[in-house]
Structure 1
Amino acid sequence: MAKMLKKLQEELICSVCLDIYRNPVCLSCGHSFCEECIQSLLRNQLRPQNFFNCPLCGAQEATPTKLQPNVQLRSVVQNFLDTSKESATTEEKPKHEMECEGDAWREGENSDVRDEEILCDFCLREPQPAVKTCMTCEASMCQAHLGKHSTKAFLASHVLVEPCDARVLAARRCAQHGKLLECYCVTDSVCVCILCCATNSHKSHEIISMEEAFGQAQNDFSGTLQQLKNHEAEVNRSLENLLSHQGKIKALESSHRNHLEKSFNAIHEQLDRRKAEILGAISAIEEEQLSHTETRIKEHKEMKDAVSSDVQELEALRNQKDPVLFVKGLSAVQARKQKQVPSNDDEELAELLSAMDGSIRETIQELFQPYAHLIVHTMPSEESLPVHEHLTFESCQASGFHVEDKVLTVVKQRDLYFPYEWNNVPFWVYSTESFCNGQHFWEVITSKSSCWKVGVSDNCLQCYLEESHSHLRVFLDKNQIKSQPLKTDIRKVRVELDCERKTVSFLYMSGKKRSGFPSRCVPIATVKIPVCYPVFAAFSISNGSLSLS
């Protein structure tokens, strides 16, 4: 009798709670469960479009609005309980409780660790840690419920993975069809389900299995990681150069500020007004340069943070064993475009140096020439000031031009409506003097011409300042370096050549004068020139005349 009761009891066990049925209800697939168990599953198990899977056979059906009681099974259960009442109250212990006691948490274990565990979805009284997650059932199971799940032959095709939470389960399913992501679309670099492969969106694309995609992703992982690390190193190098450039600007400003202070202290009563003007210009240039550099530093830091984040994400992905998550993670990182690291140049630094030096030289040479020897002795730098070269034109023969020692004149007016033709085939006149070392400057009176070029040449390459059509333009051969509209009449142009630094600076003096003061030299641009010495002063003109000062 006891043996028959035990065998009957095995047939009356709910597959969810592993206890005897309590108020059994029936699903449309024919399987029965405790009413409390099935209600709990309906609350916790989320399916797209409100569908529900049978915990036993996995059959998908619409979420029932009302559970149908299994009257016949309920009668059988009641008869069994009445027959075995005495033994059930003294000896029988629910199978679920016995298995939970065997896997109970060790006394004193930290509760925070328990919270991090993936718990069994079928345990109703005290959920136990899950050992597997069924992707078909979308449920995590403890060892006891996994054993029950594995004994069913029709569940053998279900996909079992390591325990994972609802977020990971959702990531492994197609958002459109709710099917498992079992394939990979090489054309679009995305994980897809079987239905996606059959629809128009991926029908003609190259599709491979998830296992093959996982293998390819593992092969690409090292290369992608190394590429990101190289990019990170390049960003770091560029950032270090910018920080160094920032330090140079600050040091240069400090050095020239001290230089100015020592110079102006000797003649402060006469230089107060001029000193304030120059220091203001220096501060404005410094602020502009530092602002530009700080903006670039910020951009580089953002690039560094972005690539560091990608590297960290890939490092974290290294140990990912799940093929889908590994492929999706690597594809997401590879899809992010990496900004090209901009190159650094010191053109702004050279312009800053030229502007500061030009202001100092202008004050010394034009306003207080009698005191120049006193100021030069106080300068901490051993560099000599640029020498004013009083040039003459080299003799030449050309139709429509007249050349004297210091005057170049257009006898026959050239057509100003075709500036590009003039640019392509200019007529150049060179100085009789050439330069191989040192610092030099010369001045050219341009007030009698509206279309001219002034610069330097090594017979192969020209660097020059041009005025045409009310614009000032700076060229290095045929490459335009700078262009700006001309807002005032230019009276005189000054060209400064530094053979050691290989730079040419252009400044101009406007036609307007202030009472008691000569007009200021206004810096235009400083250009680095890849020349071969000797270098000659070069001139070209399309109308009027040029005169060497």
Structure 2
Amino acid sequence: MASAALRDELKCSICLNIYRDPVSLRCGHNFCWGCIERVLDTQEGSGEYTCPDCRKRSKERPVLQKNRTLCNIVETFPPNPSDDSEEGVKIFCLYCVDSPVQAVKTCLQCETSLCGTHLQAHNKASNHVLAEPTASLENRKCSIHKEPLQYYCCEDAACTCVSCCLVGDHRGHNIELIDEAVKKKKEKLEIVLQEHTVKRNQIENRSKKLKKCQEKVQKKSVTVQEKINNLFTYIIQQVRNLQNEIINSVNSQELDISNIIQHLETQNKELSRKIRDIEKLCNTTDPLSVLQDKESDGGDLCHSGKEYKPDRIFHRLLSVAADLDDVIIIKNVQQRLFNIVNEYIKREYHVPENALIPLNEDSAGNNLAVSECRRTIYWTEINQNRSENPESFNSCPQVISKCSYPSGRHIWKVETSGSGQWRVGAAYASIGRRGDTSPIGSNNKSWCLMRNKDRLTAVHDKKKTWLHPTSPLQMILLYLDYEAGRLSFYQLCDPIRHLHTFTASFTEPLHAAFYVSNDAWIKIID
């Protein structure tokens, strides 16, 4: 009996179960942390908070203090099976004395469990509240009045008995029948369930798409890594060869100079010896000794007026020594390295050069100005009064390139304004020239990147894909691979960033297309 009395003291007055994470209010009453949080949430906006037990009022939300002593008692208190789920426990009919029959319902008023037969007789005699079969009715009764919990207080978010509603703590509150409260809560749960189901389906769809994308990336990654490895292997080998070539060239020049210096020093010694011999002869008084001397090569003395001049090798070496500058060498290395990478990429990958795309001024709209070099376009309020022709976009400030691209791979670079509305992309020559569907992206014959009100979208046939660049968009690279059916847009920043790729089966030659409005401008970069 003492254990049962203690168990009642350890029950939360809101959920009527043993405390879970018990906390205390300033008034001293204890509740489960989750239970009192829900009650306080329902009192938000009412202007005051009240304790579910003593009804003490507070204008500020009460601070919950963990009751450590009560926590320790609850943790050491032996659990009651009736507090938890009764799955696996068989409940028998109270009236089937001779042979036990499993109960189908429990009457909360009568506190009896009934089988199907006795339940029919019970329902004819009275209209009591029935619940699933249970062996313990304590958690279904009011802890104060010991009456069945038949009502629900919306303000305190607690189940109550009829006495609590009439004369107890919940008097004057918004009270509902339990069935009505359950119905409303289930309706809310259905809405939440639908929202969660939709979110789960979205997550599953995104996960499937990402998994497919991951498979493609994994397959392509092997090829890309192989190509990159080949590229760097080639570059490293060529760089080593270039390094050896330049170092050998510098060393060779140094050796050439050293050899010539040695040769000149030998000549200098020989000339010094001859000078001494000649000086000796000049100082000799014996005429016969002077004339008979052959060793001094006196035959060359008659040309003594001729000066010794440096040969061509001497001049070349002087020039080499003057040009042997580290800045010049590094500049040469820079150009050679660029040529190595550029030639390899051209040979192996056929990367296209930046396409020259002069604009077709005959196609320009009347509110679009074109520069003399036909590389820059900008929107203007001044009507250009261009002559009517089948090619012009009279309905919008738009222009297409003069040349078309029926095949191959091409790159265009453009610079865009930071304000106004602009579109850059590609279109068939058969695109409409009149009406609301003539701007690129507004029909099925064009593809574009559009900026409008600081928002960036990829548009085709009026279908928009929102993009989110990490920095302001100024320089854009457009890459067309006609045979592969791909038109890609990249942001030229450090590092270069992919924005969007359209995929399609192109059926006509494509033209570069540009649209500007509201003080916007676009510049084509060669």
Q: TM-score, normalised by structure 2?
A: 0.39
Which structure dedicates a bigger proportion of its chain to helix? 1
Q: TM-score under structure 1 normalisation?
A: 0.37
